Chains A and B, each alone.
Chain A
Amino acid sequence: MKAAIAIALNTFRESIRDRLLYAILFFGLLLMGATVLLGSISLDQDVKVIKDLGLAGIFIVNFLIILSVGTNLVSKEIDRKSIYAVLTKPIERSTFIIGKFIGLGATLFVTTVMMSAVFVAVLLAKNAGLPPLIFVALAFTYLELLFLVAIALMFSTFTAPVASALYTLAFFLIGHSMTSLTRFGEQAGPFVKGLIAVVSHVLPNLEKFNIKNQVVYDVAVSGPQSIWTVVYAGAYITVLIMIATNILRRQEF
């Protein structure tokens, strides 16, 4: 565990010092501030627009970080051979993967908190109040980001960064299309319907973490739903980490 924490801290340090991260984060903070501008031309719907854009913006900016930094997590180390100095130490390859995951997760936690702070400040300045559901939405957003980190990490173990980014983006698109897919399947024949049912349960369903749309209207999330969502995320992330570990274990350099 100590080795995993060491790798996590190292990954965190490396990503926090990456200039690309600052560029993306700066854009994110600017976006949070710009929500005020857009709110002002929304015909008195400013609080709604600020909440929608703020929550979406926090997700999108962090997703950009995953696509730029996360997809390089392992492949960059392989290309530069910096992974040699780590894997030849007395640690398991699974430790390396777990450490990378925790490290980028920690980075995203910091960026999410930073952007959330600006978002909350804007809401308070607008006297929009701070319903607790907003923080629930932020927590679910962070959970979805961890999910995507695990996906990006898995692809990073065996593909180049560009391909890894494209696959991660594809999984994001698939993950948010599951509801529509199921709806289309209901109108199809039994075979296609069955196939879609299997696919929709096997592939990640990211809509489960998407409560941004409902918290704006103070529609609460139930306790059991929250618990099952966390269990779903934890289980799927574990499976993805296991796949990534298995791939890395078989890799030769």
Chain B
Amino acid sequence: MHIALSIRNLSKEYTNFGGSSRVVSNLTLSVADGEVFGFLGPNGAGKTTTIKMIVGLAFPTRGTIEIFGQHAHSRAVRARVGFMSENPYFYSYLTAGEFMRFSASLLNIPPKMAKDRAQSLLAMVGLREVADRQIRTFSKGMNQRLGFAQALLGDPDIIFLDEPLDGLDPLGRVDFKRMMQALKKEGKTIFFNSHILSDVQELCDSVGIIHKGKLLEVGPLRRLLSARESLEEHFIRIVGAKR
């Protein structure tokens, strides 16, 4: 089994006037290649901070992060990574098509291929008809879809999604789940945060539960959950016990 993501003793501390606060504490987990991993936790648990450290938007205080055996922040690795942030927001005065082509140029995709890929991804996420509209006219759901499309532009091997289903209507969630399942079938590794545990249970192979920066549990879903317990019940039990 190949390891796509390896996190070892990851910690993150923020220093401020009052002292310091540790938002992630000694986090250790691995995600196998081709796995869909759900990273769960209550608000402020450290989920987004962890994802940011993985994709290079924040820097660990201690610990290591490797993707496909290499340092996570190297350029070679970042070319194989796709990322969608929570509540994504893009350039107001660009059209969706222009933004996709711009993102493709950052990935060194040749212009002709970039145009074709942008069109097909926008069609996949349901934004083909609005490809020539400026992003400032988009709704939250449309921004989510665009965020997802740009994360897939480089045909990444591993995709990080921060609350991808947040703010979507039920039909939007169905579409997203379908797309994620399609990516899973293609053998992509997916690491995502979510509050919607029913969706996580539907999509994920493994989960990790984090609370106040500490990893409480990690492993395959079928091992963590008993026959009678849903993921939501399990989550409430595990996290509730730590409060």
Report the minimal beta-carbon distance from A81 to chain B, rounded to whole angstroms.
5
Find out whether the CB atom of A17 lies under 8 angstroms from the CB atom of B93: yes
Contact of A6 among B88, B102, B150 (CB under 8 A): B102
Q: A8-27 CB contact bits vs B (8 Å, 1 = yes)?
A: 01100110011000000000
Find out whether the CB atom of A14 lies under 8 angstroms from the CB atom of B55: no
Q: How far is the CA of A2 from the CA of B109 in the complex (A)?
A: 11
Q: A76-93 CB contact bits vs B (8 Å, 1 = yes)?
A: 000011101111111110
Q: How far is the CA of A133 from the CA of B23 in the complex (A)?
A: 61
Find out whether the CB atom of B75 lies under 8 angstroms from the CB atom of A3: no
Report the minimal beta-carbon distance from B135 to chain A, rounded to whole angstroms.
9
Q: Does B57 contact A (CB under 8 A)?
A: yes
Q: How far is the CA of A12 from the CA of B134 in the complex (A)?
A: 15
Contact of B93 among A3, A6, A14, A87 (CB under 8 A): A14
With contacts A88-B57, A90-B107, A253-B52 known, is A81 near B85, CB below 8 A? Answer: yes
Find out whether the CB atom of B88 lies under 8 angstroms from the CB atom of A84: yes
Report the minimal beta-carbon distance from B81 to chain A, rounded to whole angstroms.
7
Report the minimal beta-carbon distance from A32 to chain B, rounded to whole angstroms.
26
* Count of inter-chain pairs, beta carbons less than 8 A: 73
Find out whether the CB atom of A81 lies under 8 angstroms from the CB atom of B87: yes
Contact of A88 among B55, B59, B102, B108 (CB under 8 A): B55
Find out whether the CB atom of A252 lies under 8 angstroms from the CB atom of B93: no
Q: Provide the residues of chain A in CB contact with B154, threshold 8 Å.
A: 89
Closest residue of A by beta carbon distance from B90: A82
Q: How far is the CA of A7 from the CA of B103 in the complex (A)?
A: 9
Residues of chain A in range 47-100 having any CB-CB distance to chain B below 8 Å: 80-82, 84-92
Report the minimal beta-carbon distance from A126 to chain B, rounded to whole angstroms.
38
Closest residue of A by beta carbon distance from B151: A85
Q: Does B105 contact A (CB under 8 A)?
A: yes
Q: A121-154 CB contact bits vs B (8 Å, 1 = yes)?
A: 0000000000000000000000000000000000
With contacts A6-B102, A13-B93 known, is A88 near B107, CB below 8 A? Answer: no
Q: B53-90 CB contact bits vs A (8 Å, 1 = yes)?
A: 00111110000000000000001101101010101111
Q: Provide the residues of chain B in CB contact with A90, threshold 8 Å.
A: 75-76, 78-79, 106-108
Contact of B88 among A10, A81, A91 (CB under 8 A): A81
Find out whether the CB atom of B83 lies under 8 angstroms from the CB atom of A80: no
Closest residue of B by beta carbon distance from A93: B56
Report the minimal beta-carbon distance from A97 to chain B, rounded to whole angstroms.
14
Q: Provide the residues of chain A in CB contact with B134, threshold 8 Å.
A: 17
Contact of B85 among A9, A13, A84, A252 (CB under 8 A): A84
Q: Does B147 contact A (CB under 8 A)?
A: yes
Interface residues, chain B, CB within 8 Å of chain A?
52, 55-59, 75-76, 78-79, 81, 83, 85, 87-94, 98, 102-103, 105-108, 134, 147, 150, 154
Interface residues, chain A, CB within 8 Å of chain B?
2-3, 6-7, 9-10, 13-14, 17-18, 80-82, 84-92, 252-253
**Ranked 5 nearest A-B pairs via Cβ:** A17-B93, A6-B105, A90-B78, A89-B106, A90-B79
